[in-house]
Structure 1
Amino acid sequence: MANLDRDITGIGALADPVRRELYRFVAAQPAPVSRDEAADATGMARHQAKFHLDRLQADGLLQSDYARTTGRSGPGAGRPSKRYRRSSDQIAVSLPPREYELAGRLMADAIAESARTGTPASDVLGRLAHDHGHDLVAALAEERPPTDAATALALATAVLSDHGYEPREADGEVYLANCPFHTLARTQTQLACAMNHALIRGVADALAPHCPRTRLDPDSGPDPSRCCVVLSAGGTAPR
């Protein structure tokens, strides 16, 4: 899970108190700051500030550009200085992985389309979730089309693993040990499970003609955080 690895790296960078102090200073400024400005504000040597600022940039917490801080241009204006600002990327870590931002975006889009067209919001949400799931695997399936039901299921499992579902095999089926919408599913079970089912059906449908079967299994057994959708290799049973 590349995003999780990136976010953990970024948050880990802030465990260092020097980098944390530099990050807080840069993030609090209304405009990009130079290495000299950051060093002066935090009371550290310029070379030390440079090292830690560049590490914060490498870890995705800061972004940089170059500009002349004198305000002049042309000959004699001096070399541009590297300036830093807080990255526009959002970093968050949830263990196990959760996707509440995705759920919020899908539901907001569904509500907006429902208000515009009169289509029930739940119907719109199901279509949007299905399309999102389809998009997750479509390019990969086109690049490496599955040759049979087993490889299609393996590809679906790999994609769902990358998105935090934590697939597990048991008794010829694949269950999903983690529900990325767990808290939502506890309070709005029918809504969250229908959205999850539609999303995973989208993943499966992108693997035609060897689409894995999907079914709802609301009994999560001993693990209440398990996803309610179960997959199996394609066959004649209804999906």
Structure 2
Amino acid sequence: MSQDFEAAVSGVGALAEPARRALYLYAAGQPEPVSREQAAAACELPLHSAKFHLDRLVEEGLLEVEYRRLSGRSGPGAGRPSKLYRRSAREVSVSLPERHYDLVGDVLASAIDESVRTGAPVQDAVLAVAQDRGRELAAASAPVPGSDLERTAAVLAEQGYEPHRDGDTVCLSNCPFDRLARDHVALVCGMNLGLVGGVVDGLGCDSVDAVLEPEPGLCCVKVRSR
């Protein structure tokens, strides 16, 4: 399970508490940042309770804080700045099994741009961009000791592929782009092949290959020892 997924689950879980959820919805719905006092009054909560829950939402990355004098005055006698809360720019979504449609969108948008710029077929551009993204994922991953199969599996696990070892092969139990893959098989399977192949290449795993090998219940790509 990736750290991003765990963080998203934690953020969404923070909203399970009714008072915290009410405070978040109130702050998110205001055009300007709100004070503790404003939020407490709007949600009919004691001030100390509102303070606790607002700061918890900040810890989870769902709200951001700024300090500003509400009077608009400055200089001596203007009073201390108030602590104000606003919705953060962080986007949080959770799906089970894990999905990464944001990655699909990025790859496809970049591929279309490349196709328009160079005149290359879209399918070829998707493959090339996916390979580049796979290399970037490999470069950004923490070093993992072990065989080439184990190192590749560790990076793919971070992306929600749910890899498992079967002899000299790593099978992928989950396709992070499943809904799109059902309707656009050739396009998405080609992108998966490019992405996984890019991870293998980026890790310098010379003893394994990404292969297109569809099987019911699994992602269409496997990683196999040569």
Provide TM-score, normalisation by structure 2: 0.94
- The residue type equivalent to 1:229 in the other structure is V
- Residue 207 of structure 1 deviates from its aligned partner by 2.3
CA 1:165 to 1:38, structure 2 compared with 1: closer, same or farther past 3 Å?
Answer: same
Paired residue for 1:129? 130
SS in 2 for 1:132: helix
- C-alpha distance in 2, partners of 1:4/1:45? 33
**1:180 is matched with which residue: 169, 176, 180?**
176
- C-alpha distance in 2, partners of 1:179/1:139? 21
- Residue 53 of structure 1 deviates from its aligned partner by 0.3
- Residue 211 of structure 1 deviates from its aligned partner by 4.9
Percent of matched pairs sharing the same residue? 48
- The residue type equivalent to 1:40 in the other structure is A
Paired residue for 1:212? 208
- Residue 73 of structure 1 deviates from its aligned partner by 1.1
CA contact (8 A) 2:148 2:205 kept: no
Q: Which consecutive residues of structure 2, in runs of 5 or more, have no partner in the other structure? A: none
- The residue type equivalent to 1:202 in the other structure is G
Paired residue for 1:200? 196
CA contact (8 A) 1:167 1:177 kept: yes
Paired residue for 2:139? 138
- Residue 232 of structure 1 deviates from its aligned partner by 2.3
- Give deviations 1:158-207, integer Å, cap 9, x for gaps: 01001100001113211000000111111111111000000000000112
- Residue 106 of structure 1 deviates from its aligned partner by 1.1
- Residue 152 of structure 1 deviates from its aligned partner by 2.3
CA contact (8 A) 2:141 2:155 kept: no
Provide TM-score, normalisation by structure 1: 0.89
**1:161 is matched with which residue: 154, 157, 166?**
157
Paired residue for 1:84? 85
- Give deviations 1:116-165, integer Å, cap 9, x for gaps: 32111111111111000001112447xx497xxx6222111101001100
In the alignment, structure 1 residue 34 sits paired with structure 2 residue 5: no
- Residue 227 of structure 1 deviates from its aligned partner by 0.8
- Residue 84 of structure 1 deviates from its aligned partner by 0.7
- Residue 36 of structure 1 deviates from its aligned partner by 1.1
The alignment of Structure 1 onto Structure 2 pairs a total of residues equal to 225
CA contact (8 A) 1:66 1:81 kept: yes
Q: Which consecutive residues of structure 1, in runs of 5 or more, have no partner in the other structure? A: none
- Residue 215 of structure 1 deviates from its aligned partner by 0.7
- C-alpha distance in 1, partners of 2:5/2:30? 28
